[in-house]
Amino acid sequence: MHAKPAVAAAAAALVAAAVAGCSGNRPEVELSQAAGATPVPTRTVTVTELVTPTVTTTATVTVSVTATVTVTALPRPSLSASTTFNQSLATLDYTNLIDDVRVLDGMPGTGSPTALQFEVLARHLASLRANGAPPGIDPPSYYSRIGSLQLFAEAASNEAAAGSPQAAGRYAVIRQETGVLLSLVNGALRTTYALPPPPTRATSTPTTPPPR
Q: Which residues contact 33 (CB under 8 A, 6 or more apart)?
A: 66, 67, 69
Provide the strand spans (E) within the chain.
43-49, 55-61
Residue 68 — φ and ψ, nearest 5°? -95, 130
Average pLDDT over residues 111-118: 97
Question: What's the pLDDT at 208?
Answer: 56
Question: What's the pLDDT at 81?
Answer: 44
Q: How confident is the model at residue 118 (pLDDT cuts 50, 70, 90)?
A: very high
Nearest to 153 by CA among 119, 182, 192, 203: 119
Q: Taking a C-beta distance cutoff of 8 angstroms, is the pair 104, 129 a contact?
A: no
Mean predicted lDDT score pLDDT of the chain: 74
- Specify the range with the lowest mean pLDDT, choosing from 40-44, 143-147, 162-166: 40-44
Residue 19 CA neighbour count, 13 Å, CB half: 10
Average pLDDT over residues 151-180: 96
pTM, to two decimals: 0.57
Q: How confident is the model at residue 83 (pLDDT cuts 50, 70, 90)?
A: confident
Question: What's the pLDDT at 209?
Answer: 55
* 54: pLDDT strictly greater than 80: no
Q: Taking a C-beta distance cutoff of 8 angstroms, is the pair 193, 186 a contact?
A: yes
The whole-angstrom separation of Cα 160 and Cα 195 is: 22
1 against 90, higher pLDDT: 90
pLDDT tens, position by position, 14-52: 444 444 444 444 444 343 444 444 454 555 545 455 555
Residue positions counted in the chain: 212
Q: How confident is the model at residue 204 (pLDDT cuts 50, 70, 90)?
A: very low
| Cis-peptide into 140, omega within 30 deg | no
186 against 36, higher pLDDT: 186
Question: What's the pLDDT at 170?
Answer: 96
- Specify the range with the lowest mean pLDDT, choosing from 49-53, 78-82, 178-182: 78-82
